[in-house]
Structure 1
Amino acid sequence: MPHPSLKAVTLTHVRYHRGDQLGHFLAWISLVPVFISFGGFVAHFIFRRELQAMFFAVGLLISQFVNEVVKTTVQQARPVTCELLEMCDSHGWPSSHSQYMFFFATYFTLLMLKGIGLAQTIRNKGFAFSLAWSMAVLTMYSRVYLGYHTVAQVFAGASLGLVLGGTWFWVVNSLIFFYFPAIEESRFGRMFYVKDTSHISNVLQFEYDNARAARKNMAARKVMDPKST
């Protein structure tokens, strides 16, 4: 028995029954929000510095803050299976995992429909939609299957994620969007090379063409002046 004064960091603390292959798979699915946060958004900031992605991440943080406020206010217990999962010291309504993934899927879908993002063709968009929503549904199912939440708790999280995702997308792209040029030109924007490419119809082609043009210009300068570097 763990000491009552000790508390584990539960960021990746997901349990499943030994030998349960489906449970093992769903345990990894349950960690998708962690992969998106620390793998997706951190890597995106390091390599791309897009304002749309930054405000996407801010929205997810706001959504999680709202989730904690609601959980603390409602204080609905998790199901009895939490006793086997060492999760009885936290509230269960609404499910933060479900809320996170449905916020993500909603905002991501609206970005694609608006023509913002790397998936430009209909085939790529279809794949992106399918992946985002399948991960959202599987995450919701995993939280019930693994015993962390009731059905009502995951549906409450999914509903709140849908509403907050749609609302935040409207706020960013109807209100904050007009300040993107100012943010780009600000001291912060210039220091961290923050940019907005949402006005470019095909970002991949734009970056590809400019990278090739820059390489050709560099090669031409070397031919004209072999001593140049």
Structure 2
Amino acid sequence: MAHPPLKAVTLTHVRYQKGDHLGHLLAWISLVPVFISLGGFICHFFFRRELQGMFFALGLIISHFISDFIKTLVQQARPETCIFLEMCDSHGWPSSHSQYMFFFAVYFTLLTFKGIGLTKVNHKWARCFLPWLLAVLTMQSRVYLGYHTVPQVFAGATLGIFLGAAWFWVVNYKLFNFFPVIEESRFGRMFYVKDTSHIQNVLEFEYDNARKARKEMAAKSN
């Protein structure tokens, strides 16, 4: 009895030519979306529980499904190098990696210039440089490693920029009004979900309050 072809989970399955140091570097850069998702947003949920970060992550998830839907609709093949990469069974337009990283870069930049939780931090342009650099390098890595064509990564970048800006507007000018309701809801109180968007500098606020609480505890114990 013939068995259907097997398909691997390709979460970190990125190939490059042996001995190609630039390809090796770009292969790791190509995994930046995985690091952001697993190391960034999952850790953020467990340790921070801030609504702004949770809706940021939700936007990335929604944009990923939109990208996959477009891929299925258009069904544009990947470049011929997909044979060596074992990726010919998936579509290439638009590039999901490019879409993810440019969504992240746009949303992060808009958050930074809106000053949510970071008002007193200077050099906003310098702080936004790294996300945009990683986005461009990720886009380049997908072409260099043979996973996408140039039009496919530019389509992904364009989609990411549009969805990132649109989702930022939805969250911060529409859904933002419901943040206090979510914070005070049964779900919010059960999982310690909070909104710190109204605090000018979250790090300074938490630092000062932690020191204040420790001093008060020390005073009570004496």
Q: Under a length normalisation based on structure 1, what TM-score does the superposition of the two structures give?
A: 0.94
**Aligned mates of 2:18, 2:190 — CA distance in 1:** 50
- Residues 30 and 139, structure 1, Cα contact 8 Å, conserved in 2: yes
Question: Hey, what does 1:104 align to over in structure 2?
Answer: 104
After superposition, give the CA deviation of every residue in 1:110-157 in whole Å (9 maximum; x if it has no partner): 00000014584223x333201100000000000000000000000000
Question: Hey, what does 1:215 align to over in structure 2?
Answer: 214
Question: Hey, what does 2:12 align to over in structure 1?
Answer: 12
Go from structure 1 to structure 2 and tell me whether the alpha carbon gap of 1:117 and 1:33 turns closer, same or farther (over 3 Å shift).
farther
Question: Hey, what does 1:43 align to over in structure 2?
Answer: 43
- Residues 100 and 160, structure 2, Cα contact 8 Å, conserved in 1: yes
After superposition, give the CA deviation of every residue in 1:43-71 in whole Å (9 maximum; x if it has no partner): 01111100000000000001000001100
Structure 2: stretches of 5+ with no match in the other structure: none
Q: Does the alignment pair 1:163 with 2:162?
A: yes
Question: Hey, what does 2:77 align to over in structure 1?
Answer: 77
**Aligned mates of 2:99, 2:57 — CA distance in 1:** 14
Q: Under a length normalisation based on structure 2, what TM-score does the superposition of the two structures give?
A: 0.97
- Residues 119 and 128, structure 1, Cα contact 8 Å, conserved in 2: no
After superposition, give the CA deviation of every residue in 1:208-229 in whole Å (9 maximum; x if it has no partner): 0000000000000000xxxxxx
Question: Hey, what does 1:91 align to over in structure 2?
Answer: 91
Query: What is the percent sequence identity of the aligned residues?
Result: 74
Go from structure 1 to structure 2 and tell me whether the alpha carbon gap of 1:119 and 1:88 turns closer, same or farther (over 3 Å shift).
farther
SS in 2 for 1:17: coil
Question: Hey, what does 2:193 align to over in structure 1?
Answer: 194
**Aligned mates of 2:45, 2:213 — CA distance in 1:** 23
After superposition, give the CA deviation of every residue in 1:77-116 in whole Å (9 maximum; x if it has no partner): 0000101100000000000000000000000000000001
Cα root mean square deviation, aligned: 1.2
- Residues 119 and 200, structure 2, Cα contact 8 Å, conserved in 1: no
**Aligned mates of 1:119, 1:150 — CA distance in 2:** 40
Go from structure 1 to structure 2 and tell me whether the alpha carbon gap of 1:24 and 1:115 turns closer, same or farther (over 3 Å shift).
same
Structure 1: stretches of 5+ with no match in the other structure: 224-229
Q: Post-superposition shift, 1:207?
A: 0.4
**Aligned mates of 1:65, 1:99 — CA distance in 2:** 11
Matches within 5 A, 1:175-194: 175-194=174-193
**Aligned mates of 1:120, 1:100 — CA distance in 2:** 28
